[in-house]
Structure 1
């Protein structure tokens, strides 16, 4: 069985009277090669995807809209794609994404709950209820931070999977998802680009809120030492030590000797 296609045609654009009204031409051609699921070293019969565009014609001449546009000179783009059926892959990704999302919600709720228990003192202890607006802002800050904490490793793991197994394969058994503007929002890379943007802006919101909180804090340094009986300026090194102690209070450092030795030995 053979099929034919045309780069441009005037036959399909004729009216019943026989006059030419539309000129159709090939705008883009994609040759898609898909590897077989059972035998990855083989491919299915290639599929040719052709996108046509039209030029309107009235009384044998171009219309004003067509003449003023860039349709006077047509261009044709050609691309060859090598891909595979990714239904099983995306099914596993959705399952892991559901688990990660559930963990994200649990951690977010626990962080918000612990913050409320630490900051919302009973009335008899000199405290009171926290304003609803403050609770919402703090909760959203925790949510953004939790999304970035769980989202980035998740996306990194998926990208690392393709990077390692696609680059190191000797026999073809895995191909990258198809990346083509022809698919629009349905493009398989849309999930990655959208996720990275969500993670980036979530972390930006959290960092902005953290910086705002630190800018609203008034800091008083109290450094007391026994009087020497005479006037003496405070040592510069002592001031640096006090400020450094405050710096340490704002950060948490976690180190692992085993982890450091492992990376030093192999890299």
Structure 2
């Protein structure tokens, strides 16, 4: 076994993959630069580039260390002898560096993800019209209900972390797959042997080599179970939320960047949804028999989810309508101006709601938009080009069949979160040689990330949708 050659190979693979990652970071930064509507390369652009590099390099380090450990377990365990451990001390230092740095970089990437998701602009458009002609007769409960459902799915994931870690510990500790990492040439699931005062110990690289495929395999099993079975036959939270929007006559307008966002069309084909139980059930019955209109944005269409590229004038008008409210709540208000606060809140909500309703209905000639499907290259790069427009200043809506709007939720960032969970587990185990401790710390760190996302997301949701925080459960 040539330790020097193996170490050199690890660094060569890491350097090659990092070069590819550098290109990917540049592409992601360029996409962000375009979506944010910037005209010069400024400090935020450079900061975003380095943040993307950190996330990608952290993933590369994790993959190189994990795959190298699996390789060592598969090909070098049989060669294990008394000098093996001392010969591999230098390469264990390489693994330690890779895991420590990858954990630090990926943790920064997750913090960046939480900040990015918790600072979006979002508004719930209410299409309901008052029956008596008085705008004060429109109930706000439908909006609050949709807002709470959105708040609930912000941290929803397809992989349940608690179940995943318990499944992993069952395989490693109960089935005793952990014993495959024993420092010796034997492949056995039996407990370590005692020879006098000496106990067969575990090799740290072998521990990574067995833990990584177990973590990856159990995660894939749970992911495919959710995709193939759970969301088809039990519950699909994302589609349920979209259906709720249609039943509630509420659309969701989202801006994740200055000039880019998503639109979920929830306008009811029945015109009104603030009805009694009988009328609601009869409306759904007529819709199931195709005796009413469709739920889509366009006539005779079923597409409800869109990616938006908006122009600068629309964004300016949107910010102006929101500014009166944001300027008022900027200073810390006291209880004595509660009535004035609610007046400003209601006026700001109505102005924004009226503006967005008119915009979606093509009633604002100065703010026109056009709808088209995404091209194949746009789907591959997840970036929409400003082509196929009637006028240069017009906005574009792209049909989002891939549901890329979930990128503003944990649901759409499953890969990054899953990789971070695995890195945390392997990093803690490499330091402690204890799978149980690794699982506990992984669970706790994930719990902290969920709590931060819930807290900041709820606060942002209240601020941007003008839904009082007290009404968000």
TM-score (normalised: structure 1): 0.47
- The structure showing larger relative contact order (alpha-carbon pairs under 8 Å, at least 6 residues apart) is 2
Q: Which has the higher strand share?
A: 1
Q: Which has the higher helix share?
A: 2
> Bigger radius of gyration, 1 or 2?
1
TM-score (normalised: structure 2): 0.29
